[in-house]
Amino acid sequence: MFRHRDRAGAASGVEARLDTTTFDRIYRVEAPRLRQFLKRRIWAEEDRNDLVQEAFLRLFVSRSGAAQSNPGAYLQGIVRHLLADRVRAWAKVQRSQPIQIGDAMEPLAPDVAAEISDLKQRYRQAIEGLPPKTKEVYLLHRSDEIGYRQIAEQLGISIRTVEWHVAQAIVRISRSIGPNV
């Protein structure tokens, strides 16, 4: 079920990880639960799917014993943290929006404007660094706002492959522009 590390594995730094069969089984059970949990909190289905996908990516790469012993609870925790991160990001954007006073707009503080500009540049570079197919799928989904099913049909690939490419893009971009996933 799980590949646990033994004494030799612990000494060599080999970490316990979920095998793909176990991961698939957990996905089939937990993904619908997470989507249902998010349905009450996030209106857009694609956004819910993105959060579920990111949670499973974090579970898959996790070396935590908690992730292995109770993946359902671990996934719930990840989703709650992702929701909190979204709220914080939304609040930050709201604070950085220019305030309309009559016909005049209050400009952003120079340090905030520079930080936003730097983040945008790192984001663009991260996207440019993606493998071609992953970049294409990610841009179709995020920029063109096309759903997974439509992307799959347009590119002649499975929905699961679309999910994989979007997940890979999210992980790579996150690693490029921010703290490690």
Per-residue pLDDT tens for 33-84?
999 988 888 888 888 899 999 999 888 888 778 788 889 888 988 888 888 7
**In the predicted structure, residue 147 carries a pLDDT above the cut 80:** yes
pLDDT-derived band at 118 (thresholds 50, 70, 90) equals: confident
Task: Choose the weakest-confidence range: 7-11, 53-57, 87-91.
Answer: 7-11
Task: Choose the weakest-confidence range: 4-18, 30-44, 64-78, 103-117.
Answer: 4-18
Beta carbons within 8 Å of 67's beta carbon, 6+ residues apart: 18, 59, 74
pLDDT of residue 101: 45
Q: Is residue 18 within 8 Å of residue 59, measured between CB atoms?
A: yes
pLDDT of residue 53: 92
> Which residues on adjacent β-strands are paired with residue 101?
104
pLDDT of residue 167: 87
Q: What single-letter amino acid sits at 73?
A: A
Q: Given the DSSP bridges, would you call strands 104-105 and 2-3 parallel, antiparallel or unpaired?
A: unpaired
Question: Is the pTM above the cut of 0.75?
Answer: no
Could you tell me how many residues make up the chain? 181
Higher pLDDT pick, 157 / 47: 157
Which residue has tokens 């612990």?
Answer: 10
**In the predicted structure, residue 157 carries a pLDDT above the cut 80:** yes
> Which residues on adjacent β-strands are paired with residue 108?
none
